[in-house]
Amino acid sequence: MSGREKVLEQVLSGGLYCITALALSQGRSTVAVVAAMLEGGARIIQYREKRVSRLQAYQECVAIRRMTRALGAAFIVNDHCDLALAVEADGVHVGQDDMPVEVVRRLVGPHMAIGLSTHGPAQATAALFLPVDYIGVGPVFPTSTKEDVCAPVGLDAVRHAATQALPFVAIGGICRHNLAQVLAAGARSVAMVSEVVTAPDIAARVREVEGLLAAASGTGSPMPPE
């Protein structure tokens, strides 16, 4: 299975999309955080660290690639195509202000997944005509985990994405307490950042969220009411 196929399989199957955030990780290293995510059963990891040196990023991604490969989890690098290629990541995720995805596809080739952040129905629809494999939809709710974040797009953007053909991950301000709303709007895959990386026991938090997602999809016990 190619990296591209692995990412698509995980996004389409639904579940928790884990993203690193060193600044929120309560003094724990990014590698330690990812190890805990994987211990909890995370199946897809995105490395998103914008304030570390390129050498540190490379070294961390080498370690994370080794761990994710051993456990069969998908590994995505945010923004940097060269870093994704250097560590043989399964995918790269870019934003609206990054390198055009047509260029990204030429650089990474046909076997690496490309994710694209979108911030509203117009961008989500435009992505249908781009060489991307999935889109991020958000921020759904207000969030402070990312600098220069745009205004929340709300649940209507999730509902719109759910009517389109592209797989998508809902992101932005999503936590256990509003998860049911996001799933009711049509999301299957959701990204949580602070809800996971700030948890005292990251592995337990991942298991808890995955349990809620499984319950909502009908593969587990019913989701408790909010």
| Residue 76 contacts residue 108 (beta carbons within 8 Å) | no
Catalytic pick from 65, 105, 117, 189? 117
Tell me which residue of 6, 35, 3, 1 sits closest to 18, measured CA to CA: 35
Catalytic pick from 4, 146, 188, 205? 146
Determine the residue type at 96.
Answer: Q
CA 58 to chain centre: 19
Catalytic pick from 6, 43, 48, 65? 48
Q: How far apart are CA 1 and CA 115, in angstroms?
A: 18
Catalytic, 117? Answer: yes
Catalytic, 144? Answer: no
| Residue 190 contacts residue 178 (beta carbons within 8 Å) | no
Residues in the chain: 226
5 φ, ψ to 5°?
-65, -40
Q: Which residues are catalytic?
A: 48, 117, 146
